[in-house]
Amino acid sequence: MYKKLSRKYYIPYFTHSELACKQTGKIVLAEGFAEKLIELRNIFGKSMPVVSGCRTREYNTKIKGAKNSFHIYDYPHHSGKGCCAVDIATTDSNYRGNLTALAWSLGWSVGIHKNFLHIDRRIDYTTSNQIMFLYD
């Protein structure tokens, strides 16, 4: 696991406020998730602003997130014992397409929304297959 780098940056490229639960301010990442996220960012070579990272089950319910969201770090429904998903802000179609293709090629599951990409590592922490889906 990574230790907090500074007051602002939790891991390379990603701030504490980006990754932290909006309710508690805590960051609890599944083992190995930070490394996969940094690998994706290094290969992509562009900023990946996170709009949603870790969530408590209570906060996830409050914002009407998926019942078994991979963002949930307390009582996760997977074996990772922490958050293994982030939502990346994206409104530019070229950026969205390039990041989607790269993330998919590296084993990330991808959810496509007009304002963000949901990416998660469900294949590392569950028996689920990699999936791609669209938000309404």
Please tell me the pTM assigned to this model.
0.92
pLDDT of the residue at 79:
75
Give the β-pairing of 132-134 and 109-112: parallel
Q: Looking at residue 106, what is its pLDDT?
A: 99
Give the tokens for residue 6: 């500074």
The reported pLDDT for the residue numbered 75 is 77
Q: pLDDT tens digits, the chain, 136 residues: what are they? A: 555 666 666 789 999 999 999 999 999 999 999 999 999 999 999 999 999 999 999 999 999 999 999 999 997 777 768 999 999 999 899 999 999 999 999 999 999 999 999 999 999 999 999 999 999 8
> β-pairing, 14-15 with 85-89?
unpaired
Considering the domain 9-134 in this protein, what is its CATH number? Answer: 3.30.1380.10
116-120 and 85-89: which strand pairing?
antiparallel
CA–CA gap between residue 113 and residue 38 (Å, rounded): 22
**What's the first-to-final CA gap in the chain, in angstroms?**
35
pLDDT at 96: 98
The answer for residues whose C-beta is within 8 angstroms of residue 19's C-beta and 6 or more apart is 10, 11, 27, 29, 50, 53, 54, 83, 86
Per-residue model confidence (pLDDT) at position 4: 61
Domain ranges of the chain: 9-134
Pull the structure tokens for residue 103.
């993330």
pLDDT of residue 136: 85
Distance CA 97, CA 44 (A): 12
Neighbours of 75 (CB within 10 A): 8
